[in-house]
Structure 1
Amino acid sequence: MNVSGTPRHILTFCGKCSCGCPELFVDHEAPAEQRIVLTDDFGQRIQMSVDQLRVIVDEARSGRISALVDAELAALVG
């Protein structure tokens, strides 16, 4: 359990620069539907449930997210 009352840092997605890379946190004190916290390098945050994060991870593992983004970016060029 997170005793301090602040979200626990889990992962920095880039970490190779000082530009404020996206990060993943778990907030053990938040309601279940807001327990996962993603932040971006602009100070924005998204809160979601663990189940929602699992769906995103499964879609990423399958390659579906990359395929959809690549197709959209290709459509802009053509």
Structure 2
Amino acid sequence: MAAEDLIHVLTLCGNCSCGCPELYLDPTAPAEQRIAITDDFGNTIRLSGAQLGDIIELARAGSLDEAAKA
């Protein structure tokens, strides 16, 4: 993942300088790896736009509420 290829979409915290999780779009990656999420520990996960869409729909439906409380 070359940083210059990534398009920053959002920062999930942004209220500190602790390396908050961030969401990126990588237009040069294969479709199944186009979404990149970095965490505050230096790790990255890759998923497709469809997988991200599934997560968004689950969140909207309330399916992730309990996980968010953990």
Q: C-alpha root-mean-square deviation of aligned residues, in Å?
A: 1.9
Unaligned stretches of 5+ in structure 1? 74-78
What displacement does 1:53 show? 0.2
The answer to whether the 8 Å contact 1:24/1:37 transfers is yes
Runs of 5+ in structure 2 lacking a partner?
A: none
Q: Using a 3 Å threshold, how does the CA distance of structure 1 residues 8 and 70 change in structure 2: closer, same or farther?
A: closer
Matched residue, 1:47: 46
Q: Could you state the TM-score of these two structures normalised by the residue count of structure 1?
A: 0.79
Count of residue correspondences:
68
Report the identity percentage: 50
- From the CA coordinates, give the structure whose radius of gyration is larger: 1
Q: Per residue, is there more helix in 1 or in 2?
A: 1
Q: CA deviation at 1:25?
A: 0.1
Aligned CA distance change for structure 1 residues 11 and 64 (closer, same or farther; 3 Å):
same
Kindly state the Cα deviation for residue 70 of structure 1 after the two structures are TM-superposed.
Answer: 6.3
